[in-house]
Structure 1
């Protein structure tokens, strides 16, 4: 399928062929008929992407702070590489469209069936869209695809109106009469409001007047007096600012145009360098409208398809789109006249050039003619592949794959990369282009039919690991899987069964056990010298609320990251624990807790604790392992420094063992090494972590009576 993307680094725009995305149970696959360019939002995104690093930094100081924080903890070299990887990426454009359902996941509303027409949000300009189930809204009969494609942008305007909270008969002022402003005016008029539209351009104010409002060209005090006269000297009930400007003037000038205790709603991106006095004197309320409405950026709503009860949240983002479509279907709102240009998706560069050069390009749309039944298959890029089953297939193409894994894979000797697949398709295409991978596959099943793929590397989200590992093993492939191997005991059993049914090798990405620091530690400790006491302290740092680790389906940081530290200790001890207990500090679902302590007991009397915390100071090194026993004291500081019995040990490769781990697996696949011990420990570590998860979820929530203070 064709998709419109732009480079994050330089803003270069192109239309690329990518495989169709793979829907989850809460997703809908939609064949696009029309998609709408949001001239303001997409122009701003394009301009920022095309800007130099200095301008990017000025525009996003929050990201600059994040980079500086990473530099303090991970070092300059690693941070520069991470920034380059982020900039060397393609991002999809677009978020408002209409099309026909091709596939509906089993957990989406029953009204979404193949063949039904839907308006969509957050999906992009592509022939096939992957849409969250609650953001695909059925289109009423009589509403054209052209009009329905306004749905998501109209929901932004409608959410601003809802934040204004003005009853019929009241007066609102809309400042900024671009696409969102025009839609705001029309829906406000349809709602029985008196509307004044203000803009710097005369032709946009004429559209307001034609729609039933009063259009005014901004002229300072004269505009203010006109608004006051229209409202009998009282002032407007609310001002909605849909403009985009770094200036704070639209907000400050609105104070004089409002009645006492009026309301300003910021919908667009405007400056907020405000003076207190005008707000204080009228007790003006300042509000912000968040995108399409309630549910936006909420994982439970957008990813899990858990709708809010209508009695508690009347207008969600999906129901805002629905309301707009109903207004159009009943003839209360018209939008077709706002469409100024329509381009085939192949002419994306021309469309965006038009938006940038034609001041009257208000609503620009792409049209599509892909047959809904014609889903894209594999994309052959013509790059090299591994002959005779020696090639590698990659499943998953996220940031870890790009920034860490693929570079390490090449250094470890895995140079024949035959195929790649990812759930969205675009990331797989990007990875293939930058690493010489010959084929981009639409899904895992297709990748496993390629004869050249003898080894599969599973780098996808955690909840897919066990499924893909089992499938690849049963297909006779060698498999490398990033940790965790499984998220439940049932999944682990399935993997073990598949391992017995196939002939391939299985390897888990517990790289730290193959680091030079751990190798030298194990060499310094006599194998039969008695028990060890190990303390592993991890200052993990906080993750943003939207990070996928906070998705309950992924097992949290316990199963996804703490497993590394348990594995290292067990590898050094030389055996798996016989008992594990996990405790969390509370404040979240059991598996989503991020302050954790694990205690481990081993058969030889060794004991260990893993302390994992998210609230440490950013300057603190992430990992520190201290081992006492067998006549020695050993400390590993973040795998960069090793101290044995008080003396620093010089290391040639002070890293966390990614390359050596892959070299070891390569040797096993070639029959030059025995991987039995590694596999046995990997399975044991996985089982230990699953027991730790059970312990954490069984943790008592109240203090036992005998421990309570008198």
Structure 2
């Protein structure tokens, strides 16, 4: 069983986590050493212990978000969300070294047994085993110890700051703040041939830096510090100044401007206050530059998750190349970097040690956590973790469910609703997020947690609920059915037209005829739609329904714009196509689509109108837009039939014009009701959602998508 250290309300705790499943483009790494950065990580610990009131005072903008959430989802759900945010365990750690245990499909430059250094707060945790994307993993050069290589993330942050300064051989460079980033920055600058002066308020840090070769160290508290800086630069000031301190006040920036020469470059690496002195910047014509994390590619999904590299001819230093470059510097200056380590502690003792007062008294900024002993000649196959095995505890013959996915929709809708539905039990959870597994298992009493879908499908469960990436839905439907499981799939059922043909093939196979496939098209299950259906029971004339979806704008790098994930028509508008079918009780006959002309500020296929005529004469018109006002309801519709007009506003108020009104205090879109329907169907053995209606829904979505794309090409 793997283990990982988490932050838990101001303390560190060690928890068991599942063994990782190696996906394409990822590596599984058994950890040798991880670097605990005292300043950053003890700071995160302190934040986690703060009360909600204290956090609100520091971030008043979150109060407004909470008020909006109360309006949208209710007080109870908002309290639940806030409590989860405060009480949930948080993963910690972002820099380590280890041994490659598994290599995912599509990776050719690593093999099992490679010694590697890994970065990323989303991957490189304090854990016995981690998964990491290939762009955040580099081989450790021969001759460099794994303990020093485990500082790769810290070194890459420092390296990117130095690159942003564009330091030239022989320049006079100041480093403000001699914590671990400042110490490593100084080492890189010394290796680059700069004349380096360090500034700090702590004389111990200054002494450590000078012991490691810093040319000059100045106490920032001394009244003559500015005079001394002028002396060291022959009265000109420093060519480059790198701010490595973490200081909410503007004091660090002001000092940087004071000690800079005319037209110098000041680089912000640490988090500082930005109430800046314009006159100093103006009269010296300073170049003020921010340095972002490890370098180009950071936070870019295509780069970090998909492994798409940035061409070296255009981007010389990406985050991955910065990692490699730092390790080469570290190899040459290994003794100096080792001198930054205050303590090496075994993983089994780390929780107790790091929660004590002793680490805060160390004179050196780094603590290294040690995991495994390793010999390069040792057979890598002997280093294995125990697989996460366990038994599902019987829950009075309830329907046993396996849940695949642990994102926001699962946390905010699926699990809270399932916990209040009789007759079912969530027995197993699959996620690549170990913190989510630990938190959700504890909160909802889930027996087992896995990182591999295969593991949950091998469990003794009745059905799976799939709530992960749209691009994986079709494959998971097939795998689940082949394992004899019923399936509830979050919309869309599939996300590509060719998959729809494949799904028809799967449905035609005799061995799957008795297995339920249910899609989370919840709008048709809303209490508001049930009210509408009751009003239409005795009306025989066709229905005219105009539906407005005021979806709102998204940033252009949002995952919903990823063609592999289907886009917003297939991923969201599909709800309304299913609703049309549920209300009209007929098959689509013809579809026409019109969209606006796109621009730099909005997408054409986010702003379209789909007009769908059904065989029984009903017409459904969906207007989907991202350019509407936030003050207008996200969803609304007007329906006409047989002399009756029905108006609905965001699933909070639905009224018959001149007649009854149905109201709910919150927006009730049917999230709970569609899950209840699925559980009832499992219990009674008869599906309340036909395969045919799901196929028809996706057929409409793909026809609309085709019309949109063809229209844009024209």
Q: Which region of structure 1 is more displaced relative to structure 2, 215-224 or 79-88? A: 79-88
Equivalent residue, structure 2, for 1:707: none
8 Å CA contact 1:432–1:440 kept in 2: the answer is yes
Is residue 599 from structure 1 mapped to residue 601 from structure 2 by the alignment?
no
Shift of 1:442: 3.6
Equivalent residue, structure 1, for 2:188: 187
Equivalent residue, structure 2, for 1:706: none
Counterpart selection for 1:487 from 495, 505, 516: 495
* Change in 2 beyond 3 A, CA 1:76/1:545: farther
Could you say what secondary structure the match of 2:224 adopts? Answer: helix
Is residue 463 from structure 1 mapped to residue 467 from structure 2 by the alignment?
no
Equivalent residue, structure 2, for 1:298: 300
8 Å CA contact 1:585–1:596 kept in 2: the answer is no
Shift of 1:673: 4.4
TM-score (norm 2): 0.92
Equivalent residue, structure 2, for 1:566: 577
Equivalent residue, structure 1, for 2:544: 533
Alignment of 1:132-531 (within 5 A): 132-213=133-214, 214-331=216-333, 334-349=336-351, 350-353=353-356, 357-369=360-372, 373-378=383-388, 380=390, 384-386=393-395, 390-451=399-460, 453-499=461-507, 500=509, 501-502=511-512, 503-526=514-537, 529-531=540-542
Q: Which region of structure 1 is more displaced relative to structure 2, 366-375 or 37-46? A: 366-375
Shift of 1:626: 1.1
Is residue 37 from structure 1 mapped to residue 20 from structure 2 by the alignment?
no
* Change in 2 beyond 3 A, CA 1:542/1:591: closer
Could you say what secondary structure the match of 1:647 adopts? Answer: coil
Could you say what secondary structure the match of 1:559 adopts? Answer: helix
Could you say what secondary structure the match of 2:330 adopts? Answer: helix
8 Å CA contact 1:155–1:320 kept in 2: the answer is yes
Q: Which region of structure 1 is more displaced relative to structure 2, 188-197 or 358-367? A: 358-367
Alpha-carbon distance in structure 1 between the residues aligned to 2:12 and 2:229: 43
* Change in 2 beyond 3 A, CA 1:437/1:311: same
Shift of 1:596: 3.8
8 Å CA contact 2:570–2:705 kept in 1: the answer is yes
Equivalent residue, structure 2, for 1:82: 81
Equivalent residue, structure 1, for 2:564: 553
Alpha-carbon distance in structure 1 between the residues aligned to 2:168 and 2:71: 53
* Change in 2 beyond 3 A, CA 1:528/1:648: closer
Shift of 1:126: 1.3
Could you say what secondary structure the match of 2:684 adopts? Answer: coil
Q: Unaligned 5+ residue runs, structure 2?
A: 374-379
Alpha-carbon distance in structure 2 between the residues aligned to 1:258 and 1:478: 68
| CA deviation string 1:409-466 (max 9, x = no partner) | 2323243232221133432232222111112234221212222x01211122222222
Alpha-carbon distance in structure 1 between the residues aligned to 2:68 and 2:12: 31
Alpha-carbon distance in structure 2 between the residues aligned to 1:599 and 1:355: 69
Q: Unaligned 5+ residue runs, structure 1?
A: 703-710
* Change in 2 beyond 3 A, CA 1:545/1:28: farther
Could you say what secondary structure the match of 2:462 adopts? Answer: strand
Q: Which region of structure 1 is more displaced relative to structure 2, 275-284 or 660-669? A: 660-669
* Change in 2 beyond 3 A, CA 1:265/1:605: same
| CA deviation string 1:661-709 (max 9, x = no partner) | 222222221226443x54321221122212222222222346xxxxxxx
* Change in 2 beyond 3 A, CA 1:195/1:265: same
Q: Which region of structure 1 is more displaced relative to structure 2, 158-167 or 344-353? A: 344-353
Could you say what secondary structure the match of 2:270 adopts? Answer: coil
Q: Which region of structure 1 is more displaced relative to structure 2, 586-595 or 197-206? A: 586-595
8 Å CA contact 1:412–1:660 kept in 2: the answer is no
* Change in 2 beyond 3 A, CA 1:558/1:393: same
Alpha-carbon distance in structure 1 between the residues aligned to 2:59 and 2:464: 38
Q: Which region of structure 1 is more displaced relative to structure 2, 40-49 or 117-126? A: 40-49
Equivalent residue, structure 1, for 2:677: 664
Shift of 1:159: 0.8
8 Å CA contact 1:594–1:612 kept in 2: the answer is yes
| CA deviation string 1:608-659 (max 9, x = no partner) | 2222233443333221011122322111211111111333423579722222
Shift of 1:41: 2.0
Q: Which region of structure 1 is more displaced relative to structure 2, 472-481 or 347-356? A: 347-356
Alpha-carbon distance in structure 1 between the residues aligned to 2:170 and 2:492: 60
| CA deviation string 1:151-171 (max 9, x = no partner) | 111000111111111211101
* Change in 2 beyond 3 A, CA 1:469/1:236: same
* Change in 2 beyond 3 A, CA 1:353/1:551: farther
Could you say what secondary structure the match of 2:234 adopts? Answer: coil
Could you say what secondary structure the match of 1:538 adopts? Answer: strand
Aligned residue pairs total 696
Shift of 1:62: 4.8
Could you say what secondary structure the match of 1:698 adopts? Answer: helix
Q: Which region of structure 1 is more displaced relative to structure 2, 302-311 or 44-53? A: 44-53
- Over the aligned positions, Cα root-mean-square deviation in angstroms equals 2.6
Alpha-carbon distance in structure 2 between the residues aligned to 1:71 and 1:542: 22
Equivalent residue, structure 1, for 2:377: none
* Change in 2 beyond 3 A, CA 1:61/1:307: farther
Alpha-carbon distance in structure 1 between the residues aligned to 2:29 and 2:332: 25
Could you say what secondary structure the match of 2:636 adopts? Answer: strand
TM-score (norm 1): 0.92
Shift of 1:515: 1.4
Alpha-carbon distance in structure 1 between the residues aligned to 2:612 and 2:95: 52
Equivalent residue, structure 2, for 1:696: 708
